[in-house]
Structure 1
Amino acid sequence: MNLFSNFRQFGVFIAICIAIFTLNLYLEFRSYEAFKVKPYNFIKADLLFSDKRQGKNSEYYVLQFKSDNFIFYTRSKNLPKCSSCEVGVITKNLKFKDYITGRFFLPSFKISKLDINDSLANILKNAIISQHQNPKMQELYSALYLATPMSKELRQNVTHWGIAHIIAISGFHLSVIFIFVFFVARFTIAPLQDRYFPYLNLRFYISLILFILMGFYLYILDFTPSFLRSYIMGVVGFLLLSRGLKVFSFGNLVLAILIGLAFSPQLLFSIGFYFSCLGVYFIFLYIYHFGNRSDLSSLKRILMHTLILEIFVFLAMNIPVYYFFPIASWYQISVIPLSYVFIIFYPVSLFLHLFGIGGLFDDFMIRFIEFAPAQGKANLELWQFIGYNIIALSAIYKKWIMLLLALLGLFVYIFALI
C-alpha cells in the first residue's frame, strides 16, 4: 500500500510542511536580526579547519569555525592556538541570504582562547587524530567519521579518485553501519531470544535501537545535510515497512525531502543535500524501470543488477557533479569497485580506531590517496545543468530517457578527458 491514498491527503501534508518551513524561516530571520543588532559581535566557536594561503605580499590563513548556530569562515595573519575560541567578528555587511545558508564569511578582528570543556565532537576528533602522524590522514579519518572539512589538497585527492561521496558521510555510511551492527547484534542476541523472549520481534527492536543511536550520531555530526536526508529516509522507510506500506517509491523520497526542508531551511542551499537526494532518485529510477521482484530469488541476477546500478548512478551523476567540481580523471571510474571495498574497509577501520590502532594502514592509505592525478576538466554551463535536471525528472516516464542520462554522463566524462 502507499502512504497517501489520494492527492488530497498528500496536499494536506505539503501544506503542513510549507507552514513549518515558513515558521522556521521566520525564526531564522529573527535570529539573523538579533545577530546583527551590533556591527560587531563576539562568537564562541570551535576551530574546524585552517588552510594556509599565499597573498600578494604575505601569507595568511583561511579559518573555518563552528558556533552553535552556523559555520563561518574568516581570515587571519596568524594560526590560532586554540580549538575552542572566542572570535570577534564584523557583522554589518552580512546579508540574510548568506546567513540562511548556515555557512558564510565574516571579517574578524580578534581570536582568543576560550577555556571551556570540549564538546563531544571535539573529544572524538582529538581521539581520532591522535592515532595518526600524517596531517592528511588526520583530516581524512576525521572527515570520514565526523564530517569535518578537508583541506584543498585532500579534496583534490579524493576528487581525482571520484570518492568524495564515499568520504562525505551519507546514506552509504548509514547503511554500512546499520547492516554491520544489525547482523552482529542479531546473531549475538538470537540465542537469548529463543530462550527468554521468543515472543518479541527481534528485528524490529534491534532496528529501533539502531535508529535511536543513529539519531544521536546525527546530533554529534550537527545534522550534516547528506546524513540528515539519509536518516529521515531511513526512519520513514522503517515506519512504512513496519506498517506494511510501500517503501521504494519516489513519493517517499519527496516525503523525506519535504520533511528535511520544513525543519531545516538551510538544506535548500546545501550542495551535499542536493547530491544525496539526486543519488537516491537515480537508484529509485533504476529500480522503477528495471526492478523485478522475481530477480531477488537469483543471486546471479542480484549481483548483475547491483553492478549495473553502480555504473548507471556513476554515469548519471557525472553532469551534476562536474558542474560544481569540474576536475575529471580516468581513475574516477574505479569508484565502482572501491565502493565494494569500502563496505569492508569502513567497519574495519572504525573497529581499529576504537582500539587505538587506527593508523595501522596509514602508509598504504597516503600512497593510495595521492596516486591519482587530475587529467581533464569538464566545463559545463548553467543552462546545461538546469536542462539535465529537467531531463532527469522526466526520466520517470520513459525508460529511454533514463538511458539517455547515462549516455550524456558518459559523453561528458570522455570529452573532459580527451
Structure 2
Amino acid sequence: MIIYDKKQLISPISKFLGLLFVIFSISLSIEYSKYQELIYEELYETKVEVINIYQKEKYDVLKLKTNNLEFFTSVPKQHTIKKLDLINVGILTINISFVDYLKGFFTNTIYFDILQKDKTFKDKIVEKIRANHTNDQISEVFEALFLAIPLSTHTREVFTNYGISHLVALSGFHLAVLSFLIYWIFYFPYSFFHTKYFPYRNKKYDLLLLTLCLLFLYLLLTNIVASLLRAFVMLSLGIILLRSNIKLITFNNLLFAFLIIISVFPKYIFSLSLWFSMFGVFYIFLFIKYFKDLKSKVVQILLFNFWIYFAMNAIVHYFFKVTTYEQLYSPFMTMAFTIFYPMELFAHLFNFASVFDKYLQLFLASDFYIFEVGTSLEVFIFYVCISFLSIFYKSAFIILNISMVIFNIYLFL
C-alpha cells in the first residue's frame, strides 16, 4: 500500500475543496435563477409528476416534482389523481423564499388538469410490481423498495412503528445488493471477451466501472433519492480510491462524499433522508474503528446491528418522537432483510412474489401501543458532539456508549 505524506496531500485536498466550492457556487446560482423564474409572476404554471398523496379529512396534500423543483399543494378530495400521474398545475408563488424553494415549499393551487401520460420505463416496472400482488399496500411497499416511490402515510407509519423506516429508504445496502447482482451477471460473459480480446485490461476494474454506469442509470430512475445518491457517491469514491491504493473506510471519505453531494445539489442540505444516511454510515465507521478486532465474527455481526440501531435512536428521536416496544425488533428485522430484499427482487423478476403476500399482510396489519419520547435539543447537541469526538478519543467513545445506554433505557422504560 502506498503511504502518502500529510504535506503531500494538503495541496491536492485544498484544490479539491476549492473545486467543490466553485461547483457549489455555480449550482447555487443555477438554483437561484430557477427560483427567480418561479416567482417572476404570482401565478406559475408547470407540468408535474405526483410523487405522493397525503390524505387529510377535508382535502388531500400532493407532493409534486419536476426537474426543477419539488413542492406540496392541497386539492379537494373529489378528484381521481393517483401517484405517478402527470398533471398541469397553476400555483401561487407569493411569499416563497429562496430557502423555502430549496427545502420544498407548500403553496396554494389555483387550478390543475390531469394530463395523458406516455408510459415510461419506470411505469412499466410499477405495472410489473403490481401484477405480482393483489394487495395495493403490499405493491406500495415494493414500489418504495425498488423505485423509491414514497409510501402513503399509513404504510409509512407501520414501518416507523417497527423502527425500520431505513429499510424502505433506498441507500447503501440496496445499492450493495444491486452491485453484487450486476457484477456477477456480467462477470462470465465479460470474462470470455476479456480473455480472447483484451487480457491486458484489469477485468475487475472494468466490471466495477460497468456496474457503476448501470447503477447511475438506476439512480436516475429513482429521481436521484438523497440517501441512494450518498451511497452511489461513496461507491464511486471507493472505486477511485481502491484504484489508487488509498484506504477506503475513513471519516474523511464520508465528509468528501457529503461535500460532493451538496456542491452539486445544494437543496439536499435540507434533506433528512441524506442526514440520516450520513449519520448511519458515520456510526458504521465508528463501529468498525472500535470493534473491528473482535475475534468472533458472529458476535461482531450481532453487535453491529444492535449497536447501530441503539446509537441512531438519540438522533432519530430528535426529529420523530413516535416510540413503540416493537421498535426493539428492528435489529432482528434488519438482519432478516439481508435475505428478504434479494429474495423479493428475484421473486418479482420471475413473477412469484405473491407467495409471500400473506405473511406481509400480517406484518402490515399489526397493532401498536404508541407513545411519544423525544430527544431534547441539549441532549441532541451533546450526543452529536461526543459522537464526533469519538473519532479521535477512545474516552469520548466510552462516554458515547454510556450516553447511548442511558438514552435507550429512558426511551423504552
Query: What TM-score, normalized by structure 2, do the two folds share?
Result: 0.91
In the alignment, what sits opposite 1:217?
218
Question: Given the alignment, which residue of 12, 28, 32 partners 1:29?
Answer: 32
CA distance in 2, matches of 1:356, 1:88: 41
Question: Given the alignment, which residue of 82, 86, 90 partners 1:84?
Answer: 86
Cα shift readout 1:3-54 (whole Å, capped 9, x = no counterpart): 8733333222222211211111111111100111110111201122222211
What pairs with 1:7-406 in structure 2 (closer than 5 Å)?
A: 7-54=10-57, 59-77=58-76, 78-81=78-81, 83-101=85-103, 103-186=104-187, 199-292=200-293, 301-371=296-366, 373-406=368-401
Seen in structure 2, the aligned counterparts of structure 1 residues 314 and 188 have a Cα distance that, compared at 3 Å, is: farther
Shifted more, 226-235 versus 20-29: the winner is 20-29
Check conservation: 2:315, 2:375, Cα contact below 8 A. no
Check conservation: 2:53, 2:60, Cα contact below 8 A. yes
What stretches of structure 2 of length at least 5 have no aligned partner? Answer: none
CA distance in 2, matches of 1:405, 1:87: 49
Check conservation: 1:161, 1:372, Cα contact below 8 A. no
Corresponding residue pairs, total: 407
Give the deviation of 1:416 after TM superposition: 2.4
What is the alpha-carbon root mean square deviation over aligned residues? 2.3
Seen in structure 2, the aligned counterparts of structure 1 residues 18 and 200 have a Cα distance that, compared at 3 Å, is: closer
Shifted more, 163-172 versus 114-123: the winner is 114-123
CA distance in 1, matches of 2:3, 2:230: 20
SS in 2 for 1:283: helix
CA distance in 1, matches of 2:233, 2:168: 20
SS in 2 for 1:133: coil
Check conservation: 1:375, 1:417, Cα contact below 8 A. no
Cα shift readout 1:182-224 (whole Å, capped 9, x = no counterpart): 3454367657766776554332222111111000000111111
Seen in structure 2, the aligned counterparts of structure 1 residues 88 and 321 have a Cα distance that, compared at 3 Å, is: same
Check conservation: 1:160, 1:374, Cα contact below 8 A. no
Seen in structure 2, the aligned counterparts of structure 1 residues 139 and 409 have a Cα distance that, compared at 3 Å, is: farther
Cα shift readout 1:138-195 (whole Å, capped 9, x = no counterpart): 2211111111111221111101111111110001111122124434543676577667
SS in 1 for 2:296: helix
Q: Which amino acid aligns with 1:326?
A: K
Check conservation: 1:237, 1:247, Cα contact below 8 A. yes
CA distance in 2, matches of 1:404, 1:79: 55
Give the deviation of 1:280 after TM superposition: 1.0
Check conservation: 2:234, 2:253, Cα contact below 8 A. yes
What stretches of structure 1 of length at least 5 have no aligned partner? Answer: none
Check conservation: 1:162, 1:333, Cα contact below 8 A. yes
CA distance in 2, matches of 1:24, 1:35: 17
CA distance in 2, matches of 1:271, 1:234: 21
Q: Which amino acid aligns with 1:125?
A: V
CA distance in 2, matches of 1:360, 1:86: 39
SS in 1 for 2:56: strand
Check conservation: 1:229, 1:257, Cα contact below 8 A. yes
CA distance in 1, matches of 2:23, 2:369: 44
Query: What TM-score, normalized by structure 1, do the two folds share?
Result: 0.90
SS in 1 for 2:48: strand
Check conservation: 2:305, 2:335, Cα contact below 8 A. no
Check conservation: 1:40, 1:89, Cα contact below 8 A. yes
Give the deviation of 1:356 after TM superposition: 3.2
CA distance in 1, matches of 2:166, 2:389: 25
Seen in structure 2, the aligned counterparts of structure 1 residues 152 and 246 have a Cα distance that, compared at 3 Å, is: same
CA distance in 1, matches of 2:313, 2:195: 49
SS in 2 for 1:64: strand
Seen in structure 2, the aligned counterparts of structure 1 residues 286 and 347 have a Cα distance that, compared at 3 Å, is: same
CA distance in 2, matches of 1:338, 1:94: 41
Give the deviation of 1:341 after TM superposition: 1.9
SS in 1 for 2:112: strand
SS in 1 for 2:87: strand
Check conservation: 1:132, 1:138, Cα contact below 8 A. yes
Give the deviation of 1:375 after TM superposition: 4.0
Shifted more, 243-252 versus 378-387: the winner is 378-387
Seen in structure 2, the aligned counterparts of structure 1 residues 21 and 139 have a Cα distance that, compared at 3 Å, is: same
Check conservation: 1:65, 1:72, Cα contact below 8 A. yes
Question: Given the alignment, which residue of 405, 408, 413 partners 1:410?
Answer: 405
Question: What is the percent sequence identity of the aligned residues?
Answer: 28
Shifted more, 225-234 versus 358-367: the winner is 358-367
Seen in structure 2, the aligned counterparts of structure 1 residues 163 and 265 have a Cα distance that, compared at 3 Å, is: same
SS in 2 for 1:93: coil
Give the deviation of 1:274 after TM superposition: 0.7
Give the deviation of 1:256 after TM superposition: 0.8
Cα shift readout 1:213-243 (whole Å, capped 9, x = no counterpart): 0000001111110010110000000111122
